[in-house]
Amino acid sequence: MKIIVRVMICLTLFATIVISSGVAVVSAQLEPGDEAPHFVLEDVYGRSHKLSSMRDNSLIIIYFFDTSSQSSQEGLLSLNKLISEFPAADLLIWGITKSPKNKVSDFIVEHDAGFPVMIDNKDVSLKYDAEFILPTIYILGPELKIIDYFQGVGQTTEKMLLALAERELQRDEVPVALALAKDIQEKNPDNFKAKTLYGYAALKVDKKEEAKDIFMDLAGQSGEAKVAGMEGLVKMNFDQGKPTQALEIAEAIEKEAPERGYVNVLKGDYLYSQNNEEAAREEYEKAVAKNDGISFQKAYAHNQYGRLQANLGNYDQARIHYDQAINFDPHNLVAMSNKGVTYQKEGELEKALAAFQDAMKVNKNDAYSEILARKTQQMISLQKNIAEKERVDRLVKELADRFRKQSKPFPFLNRKDSWTSRPMIVTFVDFQEKGGLAARDGISSVMTAQLTELLNQSGRVQVVERIIMDRLLEELNLGTSDLADPQTALKLGRILAAKIVTTGSLLHLPDASLLSLRLIDSETTAIPKVLTRKLAPGGMNLDEEMQYINREMLKAVIGKYPLRGFIVQAAGDEAIINLGSSQGVVLGTLFEVIEDGKPIKYKGKVMKGLPAQIGKIEVVRVEPDMCSVRIVEQNRPLQTDDKIQEMAGVPTGAGSG
């Protein structure tokens, strides 16, 4: 992740005002939800900085302070330390100062500032109500909207860092959130909110024992700290498959803190996983009606209720709750992408694309949103390309007719040459989702789209265009329950001329999802490969997981269905074969050259002997229907019509990555 890190520093015309409590209290002109006033300022090096050009950045800190006031520098120096420790953190920090240019230069050198310092000569401080009280700090979210505001000395730094820790946790910048929460605890061990955030961040990176110790410690205290610790224990017990213990603690919380709804959404998740959808809905409704709790907990409640409504086809209701989740948590890219999925399902592709792009602004590396946006863009392009749309429409109609008539689509299955491989075509049928209610919608679509792209890039197989499959399912009015029937999936594969139909299921557990993937031979109904994989929740490590599954699928295809063909011509140490990229040959593919074994007579029966290897060849040039090869080994001179068969192993060109 590439990061821009900048800091805005503002020196007011007046000395910092500190009231007796240690924190100055003022009536701020700007409020959370307002768009930050735009400005253009220069740093000490004369470089211009324009706030409006930073609209696509999802987290910006504007920090006004006085270079001669150490008390107003405390938070800024903490931020400087943070960006030096996490240079890849997607954090943009800017500032403005009214200090003399030489003072600013001294400050930058003394503290090795990792940010530009700008001088306010345009009354930006006045616009931000930062004329008299320092430090004044604004945290901006997507679209330059103000999401947090702090002013004065005393506990301002601690409050600012705590708010930043929560924002980083919401953006899935977990290491940064952990570092911030830890720093706050070291300076103030009594800050239970920082300890709570650390516990949830620890859970995200699988530090379960550490999280448990934190929640147990909090649960042993009193008041809000006790409730926060108990909530963490409820989540941990549900995650670890201990519903009895979780429900007992949840009941105690509902008596002690009836307006906190987090335990209700956790109960809802559990009930949904037990196929008790109506009881789950009741708990989700309780959760979204309650007002107390941490903002990310309330956002999660609205997201889950939105997911439930979306599953029921109530897309307008789902979007209302996704918007509520975003209001509580402006960095909730999960709710943003879920909102896009609802638009996509309704065919409102431009709105869907905008929602996915909003999610990508929060985290440019979010693979889910990126894949969904790319797929939506392809659908939009198809609508605008009249000729391509007509081609797809004709093809889908023809395929739908074949499916209904169950006609055979493979005239080449009865071909005379039964040895030479035909193209290896693979199709995906969406995975059936079971178990709990995953926080993210569209997981199956994302995974199949990613695998389609990787397998097509390998060159070894051809995957049926996803848009063809989606349109065909729409034309045939086939839903997830229909596709769970293996016979229906096989019928689809056959009419698409696919040798391999890939299907399976996703079992959503509290702390992970279990993928069970099956490759089915559409001609024989044999299952050449079953792959089971535990996937991290929330799309973490998605690229790595899909790369692994891609390699395993290629290994299975090559192992079970090696490419076969013939030597067309051989001369010296070179030869030509009758296979090319159309059949899935890539550079570096190795073939063994074989000749049929001699007949063997055994107990009165004549049996075909094992083939013998007479040579080995490697592909050095690939064309659509033929390849040039280098003869690596030969026991005798190779000749026309010698049989060849692909050797085991995934060539570099076939995505061994």
> DSSP letters of 8-19?
B----SSPPP--
Contact call for residues 211 and 200 (beta carbons, < 8 A):
yes
| SS3 category, 606 | strand
pLDDT at position 547, please?
Answer: 93
Task: Please state, in angstroms and as integers, the Cα–Cα distance from residue 83 to each residue in 79, 149, 363, following that order.
Answer: 6, 20, 17
Instruction: Domain 401-559: state its class.
Output: alpha beta
The SS3 assignment for 607 reads strand
Take residue 396 and report the two structure tokens written for it: 């889908």
Task: Tell me the average confidence (pLDDT) per consecutive run of 10 residues in the chain, 657 residues long.
Answer: 39 34 48 93 92 91 90 88 88 86 90 88 91 92 92 88 91 91 93 96 92 96 95 95 95 95 96 96 97 93 98 97 95 95 95 95 88 93 88 88 70 66 90 91 91 92 87 82 77 87 89 90 90 80 89 93 95 95 93 90 82 94 95 94 88 55
Strands 462-463 and 425-428: parallel
Bridge partners (DSSP) of residue 590 are 618
**pLDDT of the residue at 87:** 87
Q: In angstroms, how far is CA 525 from the centroid of its own chain?
A: 33
Helix (H) or strand (E) holding 351: helix 349-362
| Distance in angstroms (rounded) separating the CA atoms of residues 253 and 270 | 17
How many of the other CB atoms lie within 10 Å of CB of 433?
Answer: 18
Both tokens of 370, joined, read 């990126």
Q: Which of 599, 610, 575, 595 is nearest to 642 (CA)?
A: 595
Q: Length of the chain, please?
A: 657
- CA angle 513/516/521 to nearest 5° reads 155
* Residue of 333, 323, 327, 261 lying closest to 292 (CA atoms): 261
- Specify whether the CB–CB gap between 579 and 626 falls below 8 A: yes
User: CA-to-CA distance for 368 and 445, rounded, in angstroms?
Assistant: 10
Assess contact for 72 and 24: CB atoms under 8 A.
no
d(CA 135, CA 466): 54
Domains in the chain: boundaries? 40-154, 193-348, 401-559, 562-654
Q: Are both 40-154 and 562-654 of the same fold? A: no
The CATH number assigned to the domain with range 562-654 reads 2.40.10.410
Kindly give, in sequence order, each residue whose CB lies less than 8 Å from that of residue 521, ignoring residues fewer than 6 positions away.
Answer: 499, 500, 527, 528
Residue 211 makes CB contacts below 8 A (sequence gap 6+) with 199, 200, 202, 203, 232, 236
CA pair distance 558, 565, nearest whole angstrom:
14
Cis peptide preceding 258, ω within 30 of 0: no
Cβ–Cβ < 8 Å for 183, 211:
no
pLDDT of residue 407: 57
Question: How far is 47 from 148, CA to CA, in rounded Å?
Answer: 27
How far apart are the C-alpha atoms of 376 and 353, rounded to whole Å?
6
Cβ partners under 8 Å of residue 190, min gap 6? none
Query: Residue 284: what pLDDT?
Result: 97
pLDDT for residue 567: 96
What's the first-to-final CA gap in the chain, in angstroms? 21
CATH match for 193-348 among 3.30.465.10, 1.25.40.10, 1.10.760.10, 1.20.120.1230: 1.25.40.10
434: closest CA among 484, 472, 468? 484
Q: Is the dihedral of CA 464, 466, 470, 471 positive or negative?
A: negative
Beta strands 512-521 and 529-535, pairing class: antiparallel
* Residue 526: other Cβ atoms inside 10 A: 10
Helices (H), 152-191: 156-170, 174-187
Instruction: Note the pTM of the prediction, 2 decimals.
Output: 0.85
Cα–Cα distance measured from residue 91 to residue 179, given in angstroms and rounded to the nearest whole number: 14
The pLDDT of residue 44: 87
SS3 481: helix
Backbone angles phi, psi at 185, to 5 degrees: -65, -40
Q: What is the distance between the alpha carbons of residues 373 and 248, in angstroms, rounded to a whole number?
A: 43
Q: Which CATH number fits domain 40-154: 3.40.50.10710, 3.30.365.10, 3.40.30.10, 3.90.1170.50?
A: 3.40.30.10
Return the C-alpha torsion angle 443, 448, 449, 454, nearest 10.
Answer: 130
φ and ψ at residue 535, rounded to 5 degrees: -105, 140
